[in-house]
Structure 1
Amino acid sequence: MKIDDIYYLSFEALRDRKVRSALTILMVVVGSSLMVALNGLTAGFGVFIEKQFSNLASNVLTLTNSGGGGNFGGGGGGGGVVISAGGQPQSSGTIVNFNAAVVTKVKTLPLVNDVIPTYQGRVTLESQGKSRGVSVFAIAPEKLTTIAPTIQYKEGAELKANDPTGMVVADLIANPEGQPTPFLVVGQTVKASYSFTDPYTGEDKQESRSFIIRGIMAQTGNPNIDRAIIISPEIANSLLHKNGRYDSLMVVVPSPDDVSTVQDEIRVIYGNGVGISTPQAVLQARQQFTSGFSSFILAIALVALVVGAVGIVTTLYTSVTERIREIGTIKAIGALNKDILLIFISEASIIGVMGATLGLVFGIATGSLLTGAFSFGPRPGGGQDISPVYLPTDLLYVWGLSVGLSLLAGIYPAWKASRLEPIVALRRD
């Protein structure tokens, strides 16, 4: 039999069983569309992570206090070992309190260009009868671009070096999501209050100070900045009662290639008394999470595709049972075993090709719908900018896998049909 005759008979057989064929094709569509959508979202998330990483200073290490006043802690510089004048810890493995001596010691390392101390904490901002708790990130204004090279201001300008009343705020703080009016605007006066417990009397106290909003920062991708207010370190030291004990040190090295070397040198000096994080480590952790999560989700999609393949087996096997007399008639007029085999294989291929092709279309549409449903797209006030990315290689892989599984599923029913003897088939009621 000619190949066009084989496909004609296969198509007619599927058309005669419209509902069953449509449901079988739908199974393939569901599995392949899920794989396309999830592949697209995974690739999009990978692009997003790379974009975020490019916004960070890849040549900067962040040293944090391993205990006591960690990131955004209120008290700052909690218990731990006292550093000697030479900047050395008194005992191995103890917590290091960051002070001027530590800054000087780290600066003496061969590959260190600069050490930027920061204070962190939480205060309550009061503005126009409203108040909200926010994070403080205090850094020398001229050093801000070192740790956030792509920083831009939606309104106003950067903080000046000697501005004791100046404050710049993240856009997410100035324009809270879901609020019709801004919480803060440039030029506005705002009161910042810090609550603490007096270490000598045990009384709860509050320190307050007024600031003027100088600028509103756009999203940078740096978590220390994107949800914080920026004030000068001198003012933060007084307002937050830090007593000269820093919460973190930003260590600047010549290039990203020097990060691991400096990290090892710092670890030799201070052991586990400091926490050390780098943009590369953050990126690697995010990539590992993304890879594991996507593998799990894609496994679910593959199960759906396998279910579709089982549906093909069921459909074609049922079709063989129903068409035994038809198969006997075709064989009686000269069709060979391979012709019958090809007829049923071609039915499986038609199901696979139609299901896989429709799956690509619906998968791309599903990815876009999921992006909108979970608010991955751009939002007013600066939201996450994650869009699905559909790579041609991924689409081709899903299409080939869907068609391949469909063909594989059709082999047994096709072989079963080809082995029927004409006389036995014609005698079947």
Structure 2
Amino acid sequence: MRTSDLLRAAAANTVRSKLRTTLTALALVVGAFTLTLTTALGAGVTDYVTRQVDSLGAQDVLVITAAPPTAAAGGDPVAYDPETSTPAAASANPLGGGSAALTDARLEQLEGIDGLAVVEPVTTAALDYVGVGAARYLVSIDPTSSIGRADLLAGAQLERDAAELQLVLPVGYVQALGLGDPAAAVGTVVDLGLTDVLGQPREVRARLVGLTNPSLLGGGAGANAALADELATVQAAGVDAPARYAAATARFDPDDAGALAAVKEEVAGLGMTAQTVEDQLGLLTTVISGITGVLSAFAVVALVAAAFGIVNTLLMSVQERTREIGLMKALGMSNGRVFGLFSLEAGFIGLLGGVVGVLAAVAVGTALSAALSAGPLADLGGLDVLLFRPGTAVAIVVLIMGVALLAGTLPARRAARQTPISALRYE
């Protein structure tokens, strides 16, 4: 029997008992459906996060902060060392910048690390509001906004070295502040209210140069270096206090992973932490991976159940067709051809279940993704919750077929071992 004849015979035998084949394939459909949706979910969120990171344009920047005064291993308190311990400041203190701050001495230590370049402190200020006229709304400044690129909806990027005080705001502030549409809002001069260290209300005026899309990475405002410095100066109110910085930024070679690891280790040895943008997003990607992993586990359970169903279906088929097998062998069909025939039948069941499951997942997922994008996730422009890739779909179908072929090995082997005489005598 030629290979083409074997394929035709396997296809015909697969649909010989339509109900049994359909019920067996349904478990594969469930597995393929679930696996397709989970991989699409992971691909969609990962693609969105990747594009958000790329838009920041800060892949060669490390954000360095002082390690917070946490307890040591076992819960024991950490002893104070005047040489290494950083000041612990209340987060409300604008000069402290958080639970632990960097000092000029720490910045000098960072400058001495091989692999780090352009070490610069990040100045911060605690804002009370952003306003235009009588309209005032709470706002916070992203302390690292001056080193990256914003995901702009309208306007232009912040000019890092510009003397002009420049600000970018999330697009949601446009309507709240009564600025019309995003394009018209660009160029507006806004008031930034803050309270200085003496408790007096102060205002700084800045020009709105851009409006950003909503993002998973946060919705804070962005200030260029000139505005950040001005806000910090105004908030200090001329008080002669030691310089304290919430963080520092440094450039590194993003193509040298080994050097980056060594730099992080050396920074940690100095009592500080260094993170890239990808590091800061690690928790988000870990959560997404965990969710997709759990959902994929359900798909694996369905595939295991389907494998047993295929074994049962083909064993019944072998038993029902014992005399047919004996006749084929008596006419000269080899054991290998018989084994191949039943294995191909299992493969066809896998192909049927895989294709139907993938197509159903794409249909349902596309509709669901469109509904989410137009509804609850409408503010996250460019987010495809479920991203279906042709290569992934083909890989899932091949995987399902592989599971089916593996499950069909036992029944095919049993059919191949039948002897013509005993098979023809079978009643």
Q: Distance in 1 between matches of 2:421 and 2:217?
A: 74
Match of residue 109 from structure 1: 112
**Structure 2 alignment gaps of length 5 or more:** 70-78, 89-95
Match of residue 126 from structure 2: 121
Match of residue 61 from structure 2: 60
Match of residue 26 from structure 1: 26
Q: Distance in 2 between matches of 1:208 and 1:322?
A: 90
Contact 2:24–2:309, Cα closer than 8 Å, also in 1: yes
CA 1:157–1:374: 2 relative to 1, 3 Å:
closer
**CA offset digits 1:125-146 (Å, max 9, x no partner):** 456876543222468xxx92xx
Aligned residues: 390
**Structure 1 alignment gaps of length 5 or more:** 69-79, 82-88, 200-204
**CA offset digits 1:139-160 (Å, max 9, x no partner):** 8xxx92xx11467571377579
Match of residue 72 from structure 2: none
Q: In structure 1, the residue corresponding to 2:139 is in which secondary structure?
A: strand
Once the two structures are TM-superposed, the CA of residue 277 in structure 1 deviates from its matched residue by 2.2
Q: Distance in 2 between matches of 1:242 and 1:155?
A: 34
Q: Distance in 2 between matches of 1:362 and 1:157?
A: 43
Contact 1:167–1:211, Cα closer than 8 Å, also in 2: no
Match of residue 403 from structure 1: 401
Matched, 1:315 2:308: no
Q: Distance in 1 between matches of 2:244 and 2:268?
A: 18
Q: 1:161-180, aligned counterparts within 5 Å?
A: 167-174=167-174
Q: What is the TM-score when the length of structure 2 is the normalising length? A: 0.68
CA 1:380–1:426: 2 relative to 1, 3 Å:
same
Once the two structures are TM-superposed, the CA of residue 207 in structure 1 deviates from its matched residue by 3.3
Match of residue 86 from structure 1: none
Match of residue 84 from structure 2: 92
Once the two structures are TM-superposed, the CA of residue 119 in structure 1 deviates from its matched residue by 0.5
Q: Which amino acid aligns with 2:123?
A: T
Match of residue 303 from structure 1: 301
Q: 1:318-357, aligned counterparts within 5 Å?
A: 318-323=316-321, 341-357=339-355
Contact 1:327–1:422, Cα closer than 8 Å, also in 2: no
Q: Distance in 2 between matches of 1:48 and 1:155?
A: 22
CA 1:120–1:302: 2 relative to 1, 3 Å:
farther
Once the two structures are TM-superposed, the CA of residue 115 in structure 1 deviates from its matched residue by 0.8
Question: Percent identity between the aligned chains?
Answer: 23
Q: In structure 2, the residue corresponding to 1:307 is in which secondary structure?
A: helix
Q: 1:116-265, aligned counterparts within 5 Å?
A: 116-121=121-126, 123-125=128-130, 132-137=137-142, 144=146, 147-149=147-149, 154-155=154-155, 158=158, 167-174=167-174, 185-186=185-186, 192=192, 207=201, 209=203, 211=205, 213-219=207-213, 223=217, 226-230=219-223, 231-239=227-235, 246-253=244-251, 255-256=253-254, 257=256, 263=264
CA 1:92–1:247: 2 relative to 1, 3 Å:
closer
Contact 2:64–2:274, Cα closer than 8 Å, also in 1: yes
Q: Distance in 1 between matches of 2:320 and 2:61?
A: 71
Q: Distance in 2 between matches of 1:290 and 1:167?
A: 32
Once the two structures are TM-superposed, the CA of residue 210 in structure 1 deviates from its matched residue by 6.6
* RMSD between superposed Cα atoms in Å: 4.8
Once the two structures are TM-superposed, the CA of residue 63 in structure 1 deviates from its matched residue by 2.7
CA 1:415–1:192: 2 relative to 1, 3 Å:
same
